[in-house]
Amino acid sequence: MQVINSIKEWQQIKKTLNNITIGFVPTMGNLHHGHSSLMERSVSDNNLTILTIYINPTQFNHKEDLANYPKTLEKDQILAKNLGVDYLILPSYEEIYPDNYNFRVTENSEYSLMLEGASRTGHFTGVLTIVLKLLLITSPTRVYFGEKDYQQLHLVREMAKAFLLDTEIISCPTIRNEDGLPLSSRNNRLSEIELKKAALFPELLSSNLVSSAVKTELESVGFMVYYIEEYEGRRFGAVKLGNVRLIDNIRMNI
């Protein structure tokens, strides 16, 4: 695996790569099995796999969240190499945002304003802007996203259509721990007791209870509930346990 510290360097290499399929996995690092599943899929689908690790400041709503975002570069690098990733790109803010975030991708439908968009103002503008920039930098044949961030996945798909991007958007199933909790970098911030309790969230979300009852049940055992909402055959939820915000979604059996 070759590690590239500047976009210019990457663009030079890219020119030499012809007639090959490129898979791309965008991440913010602190890699876990969820990310591994995306890298593995990309390695098996494509001739080359690119991973980016970039903690994108424009998608964070709180400065502390950004400052506390876990950084495990050394470990991440070993994992990516072992999984067969060919290039790991680690861009800087100056390279990614030469305009200091003056130009942005916004989505104008109600979809980016509901669920995560309602609780996190500007979040999806930050996500769509960085994803577009990373797709332009890497020009991949395929890009891989997990279904855990379902709204993000859907918006990226719509953006790819809107801007006629020549990249296939591949969705991969949510990877869960043995108790059913979706894997997330945020889980590391839960205490052992909270981690056990957190499993109630996916359990209730996927139960036959109506959404309002799921919310009541979760609140009664100490979760702070941002939303439990159904949309186009899926049930979405966001909760806070201790200081940690968790999201999940499941396809409903209807």
Q: Catalytic positions, please?
A: 35
Nearest by Cα to 132 from 109, 108, 166, 170 = 166
What are the beta bridge partners of residue 49? 23
What residue spans of the chain are helical by DSSP H?
Answer: 7-15, 33-45, 63-67, 73-83, 93-96, 116-119, 123-138, 150-162, 192-198, 200-205, 211-220
Kindly list the residues in this chain that would bind ligand PAF in the complex (CB under 6 A): 26-28, 56, 59, 127, 130-131, 149, 152
C-alpha span between 199 and 66 (Å, rounded): 25
The 10 Å Cβ neighbour count of residue 93 is 14
Nearer Cβ to ligand PAF (43/155): 155
Closest distance between ligand PAF and the C-beta of residue 193, in Å?
27
Tokens coding 35: 């990310």
Torsion sign over Cα 207, 213, 215, 218: negative
Q: What is the DSSP secondary structure assignment for residue 47, as one 8-state letter?
A: S
Nearer Cβ to ligand PAF (134/204): 134
Closest distance between ligand PAF and the C-beta of residue 28, in Å?
5
Q: Which residues contact 104 (CB under 8 A, 6 or more apart)?
A: 58, 125, 129
Closest distance between ligand PAF and the C-beta of residue 247, in Å?
11
Tokens coding 81: 């190499």
Nearer Cβ to ligand PAF (145/223): 145
Nearer Cβ to ligand PAF (56/141): 56
C-alpha span between 223 and 215 (Å, rounded): 9
Nearer Cβ to ligand PAF (89/131): 131
Closest distance between ligand PAF and the C-beta of residue 27, in Å?
5
Closest distance between ligand PAF and the C-beta of residue 226, in Å?
18
Contact 149, 185 (CB under 8 A): no
